[in-house]
């Protein structure tokens, strides 16, 4: 199916931005045909984009190998990796911003802390180094879906991630870092201000009059909170991908 050019869409000055996990897909799982079809219909009317915390590789796994063609704007890592109509936009990097010396101290502290806490299971990849952030997972990013669910339940009881975030804040008060618990088994660490509002700078001079944002973690402390409450967006708090579809059908009948 060919895409209607942006200039020919009836609401070309409206953009809908979507969080991924919990909004377009169940956490870390794949998008359904119903969501894909709804997005394709909405894209005939206005401009669409996603803004996820994960890196583009994971969004490809979840949204499909042709993700760059499914959306007009693709914002991975909160927009630190950004594409418009399949073309890569300029980006910054976490390591350049923080510097090797501070980064080294941060990693040493994290690995030491993780080696000393009680956990029922450990897998692999406890720190994932990304372009615009690092992702820290006490169980490790190699956990299976069942192990993810187990860790999430354990974390609800023992606040493993919340305690670790407090320890990091106390240890590095002058690093200007934000710690965001957005998923099931990990938290993201990035420079303060590099939350999902970061992606808005890529569209600020593109003439949009209305920016809808859809997210599930819109509560304070959730990784959709800043963009959901930002003055530039109309925020929609959703409970599931089915809820996103329902709201889209109401907004774009
Ligand atoms: O998109 C939300 C989060 O998804 C993943 O979290 P987890 O693996 O803990 O479920 C990560 O990619 C994380 O960076 C992201 O914010």
Q: State the DSSP string of 128-158.
A: EE-SS-EEE-SS-TT--HHHHHHHHHHHHHH
Q: Is 195 a catalytic residue?
A: no
Strand, helix or coil for residue 23:
coil
Given this model, what pLDDT does residue 127 score? Answer: 98
Cβ of 21 less than 6 Å from ligand 1? yes
- 128 contacts 94 by C-beta, under 8 angstroms: no
Cβ of 53 less than 6 Å from ligand 1? yes
Strand, helix or coil for residue 242:
helix
Does the pLDDT of residue 212 top 80, yes or no?
A: yes
Q: How many percent of the chain have pLDDT more than 90?
A: 92
- Residue 237 assigned to a binding site: no
Does the pLDDT of residue 106 top 90, yes or no?
A: yes
In which band, very low, low, confident or very high, does the pLDDT at 89 lie, cut at 50, 70 and 90?
very high
CA 209 to ligand 1 center in whole angstroms: 30
- Out of 13, 19, 195, 231, the active site residue is 19
| Mean pLDDT (whole number) for 79-84 | 95
Q: Is 33 a catalytic residue?
A: no
Q: In what order do the strands lie in the sheet with 87-88?
A: 87-88, 81-84, 73-76, 47-51, 14-18, 210-215, 234-237
CA 113 to ligand 1 center in whole angstroms: 20
| pTM, two decimal places | 0.84
Domains and CATH numbers, the chain: 6-80+194-251 (3.40.50.1000), 94-191 (3.30.1240.20)
User: Counting atoms of ligand 1 from 1, which one is nearest the CA of 141?
Assistant: 8
Q: What is d(CA 71, CA 105) in angstroms, rounded to the nearest whole number?
A: 38
| Mean pLDDT (whole number) for 218-235 | 94
Average pLDDT, the chain: 95
In which band, very low, low, confident or very high, does the pLDDT at 202 lie, cut at 50, 70 and 90?
very high
Q: How many percent of the chain have pLDDT more than 70?
A: 100
- Give the strand pairing for 134-136 and 234-237: unpaired
| Mean pLDDT (whole number) for 161-177 | 97
Pocket test for ligand 1, best of 51, 135, 187 (most atoms within 8 A of CB): 135
Given this model, what pLDDT does residue 2 score? Answer: 72
| Mean pLDDT (whole number) for 120-149 | 96
DSSP annotation of 203 reads T
């Amino acid at each position: 199916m060919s895409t209607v050019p942006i200039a020919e869409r009836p609401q070309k000055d409206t953009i809908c931005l979507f969080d991924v996990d919990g909004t377009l897909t169940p956490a870390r799982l794949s998008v359904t045909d119903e969501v894909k079809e709804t997005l394709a219909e909405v894209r005939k009317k206005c401009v669409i984009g996603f803004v996820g915390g994960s890196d583009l590789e994971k969004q490809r796994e979840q949204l499909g190998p042709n993700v760059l063609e499914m959306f007009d704007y693709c914002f991975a890592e909160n927009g630190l990796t950004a594409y418009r109509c399949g073309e890569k936009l300029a980006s910054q990097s976490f390591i350049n911003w923080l510097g090797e010396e501070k980064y080294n101290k941060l990693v040493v502290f994290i690995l030491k802390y993780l080696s000393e806490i009680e956990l029922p299971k450990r897998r692999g990849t406890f720190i994932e180094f990304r372009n615009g952030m690092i992702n820290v997972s006490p169980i490790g990013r190699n956990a299976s879906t069942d192990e993810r669910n187990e860790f999430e339940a354990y974390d609800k009881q023992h606040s493993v991630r919340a305690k670790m975030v407090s320890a990091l804040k106390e240890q590095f008060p002058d690093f200007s870092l934000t710690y965001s618990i957005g998923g099931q088994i990990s938290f993201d660490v990035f420079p303060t201000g590099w939350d999902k509002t970061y992606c808005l700078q890529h569209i600020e001079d593109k003439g949009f009059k209305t920016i809808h944002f859809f997210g599930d973690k819109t509560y304070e402390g959730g990784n959709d909170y800043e963009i959901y409450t930002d003055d530039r967006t109309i925020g929609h708090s959703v409970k599931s991908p089915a809820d996103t579809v329902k709201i889209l059908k109401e907004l774009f009948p």
